[in-house]
Amino acid sequence: MKITAITPHLIGNTWKDWLWVRVDTDEGIHGVGEGTVNVFARTVETAVRDLQDRVAGHDPFDIEALLLATQRDVYTDGGQVHGAAVAAIEMACWDIMGKALDKPVHKLLGGRLRDRVRAYANGWYTVERTPEAFAAAARKVVDLGFTALKFDPFGAAWMSESGFEEDHSISLVQAVREEVGEGPDLLIEAHARFGVAAALRIAERLAPLRPAWLEEPLSHHNIAAMNSFAQRSPVPVATGEGFSSLQQFAELLAGGAVGIVQPEPVHLGGVWRTRQVAAMAEAAHAVVAPHNAQGPICSAVSAQLGACVPNFYLQESFDVFNESWTRDLVHPAINVVDGHVEVPEGPGLGIEIDWERVESHASEQPHALELFAEGWEKRGQTS
C-alpha cells in the first residue's frame, strides 16, 4: 500500500480554526488526521503541503520511516508547527492501518484495557467572570454527568496579579467548589501565566479547595523551574502540552516531581510518539492526561489512546461545548455519557467524516483563541 495524495481542509470553527487532513492510498483506503495549532492553522496547512513529496509513495504502515522522513530528514526543527503537520499525516496513517486490518487503532497499540474513558469538561465557562456565573455554569456541567471540570480563573493575567485580582480569581474557584461539592475533580488551568513566586502563592491558596491539579503554572520552556515548583507546590502539577519532543519529556520526568504529564499528540507528531511518552511516564510512576483542545478527530485519537494506555488518567473534552454544527462533521459524534467517552468500535479511529459538511464550513478568515485578551474565555460568545 502506498500514499498517493494528501489533502488539507481548513475549517472555520469560531474560536479556533481546525486543520484536518485526508490521506489517500493506491488501494482506495483513506485516513484522517488533525493538525490544529490555534493561530497557526494556515501555517500548518502550508507545512503539510511542504511535506507532501516526502510522504508520497510511503507505506502508511511504516510509521517510524515516515517520522524519520518528515522530522529527521527535514533537519530544521519547526517545533509545534512542524509537529502538527507531521501529526496530521501520521494520525491518518493509523486510521488507514486500522481500516485495512478492520481493527480499531487501540488494538494496534497494545489492545483494549477499557471500554470507556473518563473525561473532563473544558470550554464550558463562556460566561461573565463572576463567582455566580461560574458556579451556575459548573452546575450545568455536573448535571451533564461530568465528574471533572477544568477552567482558567485567572482572566488575562500575565506573570502576576494584584491582590484584588488574585482574590477575585480564587473566589471563582471557591464558588465552583461550593456549588458542585467535594465529589467532582476541579482542574485549574493557568496557561503558563505566572512567575514562580506568584504561582507558589496561588497554589497555597488553592490547596484547601482540593484541586486535582494546577496546570502549566509556569512556561514549559524552563523544565528545571517547573520541576522545582512542583517539588514545593501543595497542589499536584500537570504539564507537557507545549512539548514537541521525547527529549523534553525525558528531562521533565527525570526531575521526579511532576506526576501528571499532558502530551499533545498534535505537537509531538502524532499517535506513536504520544504512546511512547505514555510508556516513559509509566516507568516514572506518572499518569497521562493528553492535551486535547482541538476538534473531534483529536478527540477520537485521545479515546483510542485512553482505551489501551495503562496509566491513562483523563481525557480532555471540548466536544459537548462546541457549536452544534461541529458535531455533524463526524459520525459517530464524540459525546460524553455519564462523564465518559465511549471508545469507538469501528476500524481505524472509529469515525467517518462528512466531507460535504466540512467543505460547507471552510474557513474564510482566521479564528484564534487570544488567551491574554480580556474576555477570552467566552470564545467569541456573548452569553
**Residues identified as active-site:** 191, 291
Residue closest to 241 by CA, chosen among 109, 80, 118? 80
Contacts (Cβ under 8 Å, ≥6 apart) of 118: 147, 148, 313, 314, 315, 339, 340
Residue 131 in grid coordinates? 463567582
Q: How far apart are the first and last CA of the chain?
A: 50
Residue 334 in grid coordinates? 464524540
Residue 191 CB neighbours (<10 A): 17
Give yes or no for a contact between 285 and 261, defined as CB atoms under 8 angstroms apart: no
Give yes or no for a contact between 339 and 143, defined as CB atoms under 8 angstroms apart: no
Helix axes 223-232, 196-206, angle to 10 degrees: 30
Contacts (Cβ under 8 Å, ≥6 apart) of 371: 152, 156, 191
Give yes or no for a contact between 156 and 376, defined as CB atoms under 8 angstroms apart: yes
Residue closest to 268 by CA, chosen among 82, 138, 63? 82
